[in-house]
């Protein structure tokens, strides 16, 4: 059977990318990684991809800090199409995608967020949760829509926050969960084992 082809966009160290690479190798995800693209030339994620013989591209993001310039966005789309990517996974990609991009891949872009959405959207979510004093936080994989961290939730998992935790300890604990649930969400997509009703992603 033809495998789902995923494209991963990452800006940094790429530990989620690594977990996805490992889980495709272990057969926990029925998909192959068509390419990895970064907006940072020196992202460790690109090195991880090259080491795994996955096409790795740095594509210039433009002059804005929080999104891709339109002409650069077009280059990203061109590259994803060249590699026949069917599902895009944002894994620590630090830029917001615009509606033209979202229209091309509507319902086929996922993101991972290190908190239980809709709480603690945006940057430094683990620290936000820690400072707020919540007793439970976690991680969320969701589809990407026009908002920031607002799309339909695919998988969520919780961790408890202990009295003697530090923000770093919490971040590490959440990261372990991220590495599991991103692969679970991708596999759900690969098997087509869900339907979306309104905001709800229902497992079949
Ligand atoms: C993760 O915490 C992810 O939830 C957030 O950015 C971080 C990326 O880490 N969106 P890594 O590059 O996958 O190690």
Query: For the purposes of burial, counting CB atoms within 10 Å of the CB of 55, is it exposed (0-12), middle (13-18) or buried (19 or more)?
Result: middle
Query: Would you say the CB of residue 13 lies under 6 angstroms from ligand 1?
Result: yes
Active site residue 57: no
Model confidence pLDDT, tens digit, residues 81-106: 999 999 999 999 999 999 999 999 99
Q: Which of 83, 113, 142, 179 is labelled catalytic?
A: 113
CATH of 1-106, one of 3.40.50.170, 3.40.50.970, 3.90.1170.30, 3.40.190.10: 3.40.50.170
Query: Would you say the CB of residue 112 lies under 6 angstroms from ligand 1?
Result: yes
Model confidence pLDDT, tens digit, residues 117-169: 999 999 999 999 999 999 999 999 999 999 999 999 999 999 999 999 999 99
CB atoms closer than 10 angstroms to residue 120: 23
In degrees and rounded to multiples of 5, residue 5 shows phi and psi of -105, 120
Model confidence pLDDT, tens digit, residues 16-50: 999 999 999 999 999 999 999 999 999 999 999 99
Which is it for strands 4-9 and 87-90: parallel, antiparallel or unpaired? parallel
- Residue with CA at minimum distance from ligand 1 atom 10: 92
Helix (H) or strand (E) holding 26: none
What is the sign, positive or negative, of the torsion defined by CA atoms of 75, 81, 82, 88?
positive
Domains 1-106 and 112-204 share a fold: yes
Q: Determine the 3-state secondary structure of 36 from DSSP.
A: strand
Closest CA to 8 of 51, 54, 62: 54
pTM for the whole thing?
Answer: 0.97
Q: Where are the domains of the chain?
A: 1-106, 112-204
Asked whether the beta carbons of 141 and 181 are under 8 A apart, the reply is yes
Q: Considering only the top CATH level, what class is 112-204? A: alpha beta
């Amino acid at each position: 059977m033809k495998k789902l082809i995923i494209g991963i966009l990452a800006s940094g160290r790429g530990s989620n990318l690594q977990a996805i690479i490992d889980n495709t190798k272990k057969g926990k995800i029925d998909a192959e990684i068509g390419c990895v693209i970064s907006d940072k030339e020196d992202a460790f994620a690109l090195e991880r991809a090259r080491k795994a013989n996955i096409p790795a591209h740095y594509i210039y993001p433009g002059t804005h800090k929080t999104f891709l310039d339109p002409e650069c966005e077009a280059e990203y789309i061109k590259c994803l199409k060249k590699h026949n990517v069917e599902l895009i996974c944002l894994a620590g990609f630090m830029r917001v995608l615009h509606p033209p991009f979202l229209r091309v891949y509507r319902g086929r872009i996922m993101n991972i967020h290190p908190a239980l959405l809709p709480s603690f959207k945006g940057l430094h979510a683990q620290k936000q949760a820690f400072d707020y004093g919540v007793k439970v936080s976690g991680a969320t994989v969701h589809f990407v829509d026009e908002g920031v961290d607002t799309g339909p939730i695919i998988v969520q998992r919780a961790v408890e926050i202990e009295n003697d935790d530090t923000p770093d300890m919490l971040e590490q604990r959440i990261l372990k969960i991220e590495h599991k649930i991103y692969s679970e969400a991708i596999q759900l997509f690969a098997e087509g084992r869900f339907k979306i009703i309104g905001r709800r992603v229902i497992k079949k």
